[in-house]
Amino acid sequence: MYSFNMREVKNIKTDHFDVAQSKVELSNLAYFLRRFLIFTSTWLSYFPNFGCKIVIGLTVGFTASALSVINNRIKGLITIGEPVFFGKEEDIDMYFNKIHKETNKENIKIFIFCFINEFIKYIGIIKNNIDPLYDYNTCLALKEVEHYLLQIRTILEDRRWDDTNNPYYFKFPSFKKDINNYYSIWNENLLRPELLDKPARPNCLILASKSDLYVPQSELLKTTEGVKKSLHFIYSEIEICAAEICARNIAEYGDSMPIEFTFDMAYQCIDEVRHAMMILEYMNYYGVKLGDFTYTNNVWLQYIKGDNLAEKLAIEQIISEGNGLDSCSLTLTSLRKIEKLEKLVKLYEFLIADETIHCRHGNKWLSYIVSGNDAEYENIIDKAIAKTGLKIPGRAPIYVEARRAANYKDSFIEKRLLPKL
């Protein structure tokens, strides 16, 4: 925590940043992080190893959290108009432009670590130039940003992504003294990695046309074999795919949507990889390995059928995850009746809490896209159903309270979800 020095007036320093300089330097940080976020969001699908996907998903989430902090501080410093993302394209952009076609996974890992490591150092330099009294809120913001980036670095070091034999050398720009007329606005046409319509998968996974789950989860959980199948299904079919979908939304649609959309998708991305980690704990407990059962990749295959962001939000966050709220509630009810599965009760309670927020994000942004038009909202839902064959509602009874908490309108619930008497 920063503290105020009770300095005498005669000792007031003039070499710290003024408001204009702070805005420029913060905006530079935002620019660098936003570009890094798009690259890592795209790269998540490049890695077949699910452990690597989890690492990148966490990186996406913490990077977006850092970017959100900076964005909020920029808003606090700008009194007229909306915040502008500045950038020194001639300095940092060359590193991104050089690696945007990279497909070698080891080189991508090294790039990610070196960027984060050098960025933390750059934050430290900027902190030394911020006046802790006049610009106290920027000091606090940078401290929080540093916290998120240190989280990423720790994760990368734990996974041995810190290869010092073949590092990337980043030279972050020196402070720009002449900041007048310095407005290098975010460019949507910057070079970036190619989006994959088919995310990489490990060789141990065997693709099948039908799922191993032939009965409802509530029935599966009555046997140990059923529990194993259920855990493998959630890990391989649901959580990892959901993280890839959120990352894809950031990479493909982040530029055309308000920056808050990127923050919400990154928030969900880190949730999904956390869920994968939670499930993995139970898989290890029950002796389940990835590849012990087949997978269909159905969640991703349904999502990619959407022709635009609105349809993709409808397919994943509104229909699929909404139906998931109902089925998780049914499963939770069943678990509470089965002895020796108390730990899974805790798991599903947290899953329902998080999935409610994810559905809320879907409703929020689809409503934004259709400008709050209920008829157009339903039209998008119908298009998504027609293209995927998904049902709304699904097979489980409607969990009305969760649907309302996820901002499904009462009129929609009564018209499209509740059974007709």
pLDDT in tens, 196-233: 999 999 999 999 988 877 667 767 888 899 999 999 99
pLDDT (mean) for 15-44: 90
For residue 236, the enclosing domain spans 217-417
Taking a C-beta distance cutoff of 8 angstroms, is the pair 259, 30 a contact? no
Model's pTM, two decimal places? 0.92
Structural domain contains residue 199: no
Confidence of residue 421 (pLDDT cuts 50, 70, 90): very low
Choose from 92-106, 222-236, 265-279 the range with maximum mean pLDDT.
265-279
E strands present in 55-166: none
pLDDT (mean) for 260-282: 97
Structural domain contains residue 335: yes
SS3 content of the chain, % helix, strand, coil (to 5): 65, 0, 35
Question: How many structural domains are present in the chain?
Answer: 2
The predicted structure's pLDDT at residue 190: 80
Crossing angle of helices 50-77 and 105-127, in 10° steps, is 30
For residue range 362-397, list pLDDT tens digits in order: 999 999 999 999 999 999 999 999 999 999 999 889
Q: Across-strand partners of 207?
A: 295
The predicted structure's pLDDT at residue 17: 86
What mean pLDDT, rounded, does the chain reach?
Answer: 88
Half-sphere exposure of 342 (CA within 13 A, CB side): 2
The predicted structure's pLDDT at residue 359: 97
Phi and psi for 137 in degrees, rounded to 5? -65, -30
One-letter amino acid for residue 155 of the chain: I
Question: Does 251 share its domain with 329?
Answer: yes
The domain boundary, picked from 158, 179, 204, lies at 158
**What's the distance, CA 165 to chain centroid?**
30
The domain boundary, picked from 107, 132, 158, lies at 158
58: closest CA among 196, 151, 135? 151
Phi and psi for 295 in degrees, rounded to 5? -145, 160
pLDDT (mean) for 260-268: 97
Structural domain contains residue 299: yes
DSSP 317-359: IIIIHHHHHHHHHHHHHHHTTSTT-HHHHHHHHHHHHHHHHHH
Question: Does 144 share its domain with 50?
Answer: yes
Share of the chain above pLDDT 90, in %: 70
Q: 10 Å Cβ neighbour count for 239?
A: 26
More confident residue, 79 or 409: 409
Confidence of residue 181 (pLDDT cuts 50, 70, 90): very low
CA distance 278 to 199: 22
The DSSP 8-state label assigned to residue 20 in this structure reads H
The domain boundary, picked from 114, 138, 158, lies at 158
The predicted structure's pLDDT at residue 213: 74
Structural domain contains residue 198: no
Taking a C-beta distance cutoff of 8 angstroms, is the pair 301, 207 a contact? no
Confidence of residue 245 (pLDDT cuts 50, 70, 90): very high
What lies within 8 Å, CB to CB, of 182 at 6+ separation is 24, 86, 176
CATH number at residue 341: 1.20.1260.10
- Residue 78 reports pLDDT greater than 80: no
Share of the chain above pLDDT 70, in %: 88
Half-sphere exposure of 308 (CA within 13 A, CB side): 10
Residues in the chain: 421
The DSSP 8-state label assigned to residue 176 in this structure reads P
Structural domain contains residue 1: no
For residue range 141-177, list pLDDT tens digits in order: 999 999 999 999 999 999 999 876 777 777 776 655 4
Q: Which residues of 357-376 are buried (b: 16+ CB within 10 A; e: fewer)?
A: bbbbbbbbbbbebbeeeeee
pLDDT (mean) for 310-332: 95
Question: Does 336 share its domain with 250?
Answer: yes
The predicted structure's pLDDT at residue 334: 87
The predicted structure's pLDDT at residue 8: 46
- Residue 251 reports pLDDT greater than 60: yes
Three-state SS for 207?
strand
Question: Does 231 share its domain with 135?
Answer: no
pLDDT (mean) for 308-325: 97
Structural domain contains residue 74: yes
- Residue 136 reports pLDDT greater than 80: yes
Question: Does 232 share its domain with 367?
Answer: yes
The predicted structure's pLDDT at residue 88: 54
The predicted structure's pLDDT at residue 237: 94
CA distance 61 to 104: 23
Question: Does 350 share its domain with 225?
Answer: yes
Structural domain contains residue 171: no
CA distance 371 to 382: 17
Question: Does 138 share its domain with 274?
Answer: no
More confident residue, 79 or 118: 118
CA distance 324 to 343: 20
Structural domain contains residue 2: no
Q: 10 Å Cβ neighbour count for 226?
A: 17
- Residue 342 reports pLDDT greater than 60: yes
- Residue 182 reports pLDDT greater than 50: no
CATH number at residue 29: 1.20.1260
